[in-house]
């Protein structure tokens, strides 16, 4: 049975457009509450990022959950991984995040964590969806849920993050620029880094409800790059709006992406025998990462795109480290979800203990040039069954041999096919990608 409302990362959309409307989110809260109501003393924690619409959706969820008889702890603006952590520490039945992650402020979403701080199982999401088809029935007044605001949520998470480093490690001597994307980490990550001794310059940490992810954060690195060079900093840290994604800038102003971050952490933890033998990337992870991990003597596995699938693959192989090129980094012996602050601290630990710069450390892997083309579809086309498309792909793969790879992937949200070609020569990869894209476009037009 397919899911009607839940995507790979909860329910998300533009505010005011179904399903991101107050009436739907009210019912979503009630439906989730009905699923949880069978538990003894059901309790849910709710946090949000800094979008102006967060207050509206939080209130709607609150009303629905209370109507179903569920108690609530309101955390206020908090990073997504913090809500996962606090779900566990409060022994809550579930955690709810009101956020659209790296999307612009006009969007928002609702995603859930289980009592273990992990994404909900498919069965639980389907159970919630089944209640969305029913009419709301409020419990008796004596059974209504109670709501309490948690005033020390940020402090709890700050201390948790600091414990990710050994107690004798300090960040003194490091000059860091941190970009909080005007999002949920604005009152958390700067305190973590400062309390650990770093000299800190903060940017994009003045949220106003509308500037989240606006020309800043992990999806827009130009401003941070300029600030790192301007202040002659050792490195820059860029988080996204809900704090589960990390990108970095080295002292030259160059980007260090999720693949390089994962390779740095894997190499350093291997030295300390705490990396495990299995590292998980995605179908989009650079071939250079795979080769780097294999040279370390570790196993590299590719999952479908999405941190949900990275986690599933990590569990299958009992792995500790996994991540995406976009900066979702999962370090399972620290927290069971992507956490930009925790991942940054692991990179900083490598910088401190090796005495090497981030610029030096990132050369643990050599990035292959990667060309990505989005082909808008004028008609339906199955790239796996279309003989002409498969011939074009096979021809490119034969030309690349062991020097590269080809990937075609349908978008899950838009009518387009993503054509990716990776190889040692950028000119060659671009030519091959253009050729495949032309065939895809022609076949879509002919369908």
Q: Could you tell me the domains of the chain?
A: 11-151 (3.40.120.10), 157-364 (3.40.120.10), 370-446 (3.30.310.50)
- pLDDT at residue number 413: 63
To 10 degrees, the CA torsion angle through 33, 155, 11, 123? -50
C-alpha 128/C-alpha 210 separation (Å) is 31
Q: What is the pLDDT of residue 86?
A: 98
Catalytic member of 93, 101, 114, 325: 101
Is 397 exposed, middle or buried (CB count within 10 Å of its CB: 0-12, 13-18, 19+)?
A: middle
Backbone angles phi, psi at 264, to 5 degrees: -60, -45
Read off the pTM: 0.93
pLDDT recorded at residue 410: 87
Contact 77, 86 (CB under 8 A): no
**Residue 2 reports pLDDT greater than 80:** no
**For residue 1, what pLDDT is reported?**
54
Of the pLDDT bands very low, low, confident and very high (cuts 50, 70, 90), residue 254 is very high
Write down the residue that tokens 């007044």 correspond to.
141
CB-based contacts of 221, cutoff 8 Å, min separation 6: 238, 247, 249, 255
Query: Could you read off the pLDDT of 12-67 as tens digits, one per residue?
Result: 999 999 999 999 999 999 999 999 988 888 999 999 999 999 999 999 999 999 99
Which of 33-42, 92-101, 334-343 has the weakest average pLDDT? Answer: 33-42
Q: What is the pLDDT of residue 359?
A: 98
Quick check: 412 pLDDT over 70? no
- Check if 101 is active-site: yes
Q: How many CB atoms lie within 10 A of CB 205?
A: 18
Average pLDDT rounded to a whole number, residues 244-262: 98
Q: What is the pLDDT of residues 257-283, one digit of tens each?
A: 999 999 999 999 998 888 789 999 999
Q: What is the CA radius of gyration of the chain?
A: 23
Average pLDDT, the chain: 95
In whole angstroms, how far apart are CA 304 and each of 308, 311, 384? 9, 10, 16
Residue 25 CB neighbour total at 10 angstroms:
26
């Amino acid at each position: 049975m397919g899911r009607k409302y839940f995507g790979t990362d909860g329910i998300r959309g533009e505010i005011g457009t179904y399903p991101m409307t107050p009436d739907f989110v009210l019912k979503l809260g009630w439906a989730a509450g009905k699923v949880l109501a069978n538990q003894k003393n059901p309790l849910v924690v709710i946090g949000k990022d800094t979008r102006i619409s967060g207050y509206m959706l939080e209130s709607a969820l609150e009303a629905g959950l209370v109507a179903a008889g569920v108690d609530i702890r309101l955390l206020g603006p908090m990073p997504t991984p913090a809500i996962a952590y606090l779900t566990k520490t409060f022994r809550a039945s579930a955690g709810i995040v009101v956020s659209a992650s790296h999307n612009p402020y006009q969007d928002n979403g609702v995603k859930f964590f289980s009592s273990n701080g992990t994404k909900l199982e498919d069965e639980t999401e389907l159970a919630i969806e089944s209640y969305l088809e029913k009419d709301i029935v409020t419990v008796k007044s004596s059974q209504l849920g109670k709501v309490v605001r948690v005033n020390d949520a940020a402090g709890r998470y700050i201390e948790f993050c600091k414990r990710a480093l050994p107690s004798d490690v300090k960040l003194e001597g490091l000059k860091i620029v941190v970009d909080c994307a005007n999002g949920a980490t604005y009152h958390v990550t700067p305190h973590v880094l400062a309390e650990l001794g770093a000299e800190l310059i903060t940017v994009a940490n003045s949220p106003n409800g509308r500037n989240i992810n606006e020309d800043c954060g992990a999806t827009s690195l130009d401003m941070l790059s300029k600030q790192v060079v301007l202040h002659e900093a050792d490195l820059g840290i860029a988080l996204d709006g809900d704090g589960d994604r990390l990108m970095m800038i080295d002292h030259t102003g160059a980007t260090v992406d999720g693949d390089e971050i994962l390779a740095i952490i894997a190499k350093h933890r291997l030295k300390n025998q705490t990396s495990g033998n299995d590292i998980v990337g995605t179908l989009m992870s650079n071939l250079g990462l795979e080769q780097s991990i294999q040279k370390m003597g570790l196993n590299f596995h590719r999952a479908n795109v999405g941190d949900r699938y990275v986690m599933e693959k990590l569990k299958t192989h009992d792995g500790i480290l996994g991540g995406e090129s976009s900066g979702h980094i999962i370090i399972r012996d620290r927290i069971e979800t992507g956490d930009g602050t925790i991942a940054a601290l692991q990179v900083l630990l490598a910088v401190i203990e090796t005495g090497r710069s981030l610029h030096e450390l990132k050369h643990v892997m050599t990035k292959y040039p990667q060309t990505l083309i989005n082909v808008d579809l004028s008609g339906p086309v199955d790239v796996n069954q279309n003989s002409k498309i498969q011939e074009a792909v096979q021809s490119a793969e034969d030309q690349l041999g062991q020097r590269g790879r080809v990937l075609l992937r349908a978008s899950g949200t838009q009518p387009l096919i993503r054509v990716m070609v990776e190889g040692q020569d950028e000119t060659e990869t671009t030519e091959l990608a253009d050729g495949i894209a032309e065939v895809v476009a022609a076949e879509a037009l002919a369908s």
